[in-house]
Amino acid sequence: MHNYSTSAAVAVHSDFLSLSHLRRQEFQALLALCADLRSRNSFGEFLQGKSVALVFEKPSVRTRVTFEVAIRQLGGWPIMLGSAESRLGEREPIQDLARNLSCWVEGIVARVYNHHDLEDLALFASIPVINGLSDTDHPCQAVADLLTLMDVWPSWSGKEFVYVGDWNNVSRSLWHACSLAGLRFRAICPEKYAPTQLEPVEWSTKPADVKGADAIYTDVWASMGQEDELQERLEVFRPYQVNEKLIAKTGKHTLFMHCLPAHRGQEVTDSVIESDCSLVFQQAANRLPGEKAILITVLGAGIQAEKAAAKRKPGSQL
């Protein structure tokens, strides 16, 4: 069983850039908080009077909508900065943007091309920074994905999670999440697009190795910024398409997952994504409680300290 106590202390980090920075107990407590928030009709005013900047170099549907809704439902104000204002290091140095935003808002959610730019933003900001997606990690998606699996599996025991396709930011965060949850993870990727030697991931190049998978996850073959590689990738990844024939090779009733947006007819067929084994829209729904939990966890320490200081000094201005 998933023995995740909602009373477990969720460690507060100054930033939320990668799941690799968390300990197992912290991740489990975060999942418990996600489930707790999802069960509530009232969300309180945790971010009452607080503002969070959304610095988005890349376009987004799920990440933008869920963070905007999450911030508003927690009582705060989201402030959207699109690519025209926030191409990091172009309009102005990253350290200047970070310091300016730190004067005005209580947190930053950044969706960027380059993870190093995200790290620089976090380095110079005096407020927490949350990774809404970078070229190396997508931790918010992985939190929603593990929350989705908790809904359908009462235990991880004996379960095998298999990622098929390009080794990218989504698969890397899933690998970290599965490790933290105690869920067996393996990847099936073309050799050129596989985990690096520095990443101790169990992987193979053979699509038939999906045998035994309890869940199969895939993602687009060419991510944003890789459009010029699409034709080459289409040829390389064609044998890795998740279709009914591939699902049948698992030898069991296997769940299907995808972070979306999906290129139907490329990495996955319509028949799979619309089947009763597909969890893609449950994953999308779980982005909202997942991001509420992340906001509360990451922004919590600073806000609670501020409230405590105000109570100690009646009449003081914040």
Where would I find the H helices in 166-275? Answer: 169-181, 230-237, 244-248, 270-273
With b for 16 or more beta-carbon neighbours within 10 A and e for fewer, the 106-133 pattern comes to bbbbbbbbebebbbbbbebbebbbbbbb
| Whole-angstrom distance, CA of residue 171 vs CA of residue 225 | 17
- Give catalytic status of residue 263 as yes or no: no
Its pTM stands at 0.90
- Of 298, 304, 300, whose CA–CA distance to 14 is shortest? 298
Q: Which amino acid, residue 177? A: A
CATH T-level topology, domain 139-278: Rossmann fold (3.40.50)
**Which residue in the list 219, 233, 266, 283 is annotated as catalytic?**
219
Domain positions in the chain are: 19-136+287-312, 139-278
**Which residue in the list 141, 241, 266, 283 is annotated as catalytic?**
141
- Give catalytic status of residue 287 as yes or no: yes
* Architecture (CATH level 2) of domain 19-136+287-312: 3-Layer(aba) Sandwich (3.40)
- Give catalytic status of residue 64 as yes or no: no
Return all residues near 53 (Cβ < 8 A) that are at least 6 apart: 79, 81, 101, 104, 105, 107, 108, 109
* Main-chain phi, psi angles of 97, to 5 degrees: -60, -45
Fold: same for 19-136+287-312 and 139-278 = yes
* Residue ranges of the chain with per-residue pLDDT less than 70: 1-13, 41-43, 85-86, 301-318
- Give catalytic status of residue 219 as yes or no: yes
Residue 282's Cβ-count burial label (10 Å; 0-12, 13-18, 19+) is middle
**Which residue in the list 15, 28, 64, 111 is annotated as catalytic?**
111
**Which residue in the list 117, 135, 137, 138 is annotated as catalytic?**
138
Q: What is the DSSP string of 218-248?
A: E--SS-TT-GGGHHHHHHHHGGG-B-HHHHH
Report in angstroms the alpha-carbon separations of 180 from 1, 20, 184, 229.
15, 9, 10, 33
